[in-house]
Amino acid sequence: MQRDDSDGTTDATPTPGVGSAPAGATRASSGKSARRPAAGRSGTRRAAREEKYERGTRSYTMSHIRGKDTSIEVMVRRYLFSRGLRFRKNDRRYPGHPDVVLPKWHAVVFVNGCFWHMHEDCAKHAMPKSNVEFWSAKLLRNRERDRRQHAELEAMGWRVIVVWECELAKATRRERLERLYGEITGAGAQADGEPRDPRGAEGPERPERPEDPRR
């Protein structure tokens, strides 16, 4: 089919020889252009987001580290779930938003990266050699904040358990996870033979619910 550019009409007489259109080409040449597939939302967002730091720099690497649901956090949660424990994660009602909150056992678990939380005497914690003043101040603030939040949780009656990244290395992972289960459930007995009560005398203080205005 040939299109007459003078008035936009289509000549219904096929041109002999060269130029005869294959079946289905008539609809494409009827004046409606073929639509392009729309780009996916995820692709559009990635294209729109501009990187703040140059690829390969320390700042670029640090900016891509996840703040929650890290691989070690997921590992700990999967293990505890496989052992039958049920919990909440990153509960924002409590100081520090603990990675694992176990109300039944009145225990909270923080799964800490050794670098970001300044694990003392650990090979995974080493102060960066560049911009030392910035990193020293930042990491020290992190450590002081951790101590303050742990103290607040303990004052509320919670038992605070910290699992370090280096403890979850392949060589020591199994032993640390089993020990964590024991720390949470109070497995074992005290020296006097009495079973340990993980809840304490009164249990942890829970956030108060707002009063119902309808009453």
Joined tokens for residue 81: 């779930």
pLDDT 10s digits, 127-153 = 888 888 999 999 999 999 999 999 999
3-state secondary structure of 139: helix
Q: How many helices (H) and strands (E) does the chain have?
A: 6, 5
The model's pTM:
0.60
Sign of the four-CA dihedral 134, 152, 124, 115? negative
Q: DSSP string spanning 58-72?
A: HHHHHHTS-SSS-HH
Beta bridge mates, 110 = 162
Domain ranges of the chain: 58-185
pLDDT 10s digits, 162-185 = 999 999 999 999 999 999 999 999
Percent of the chain's residues with pLDDT above 90: 48
| Strand bridging mode 159-164 / 10-11 | unpaired
According to the model, what pLDDT value does residue 201 have? 39
Beta bridge mates, 3 = 10
Residue 48 binned pLDDT confidence (cut-offs 50, 70, 90): very low
Residue pair 106/157 in contact (Cβ under 8 Å)? The answer is yes
CATH of domain 58-185: 3.40.960.10
pLDDT 10s digits, 81-91 = 999 999 999 99
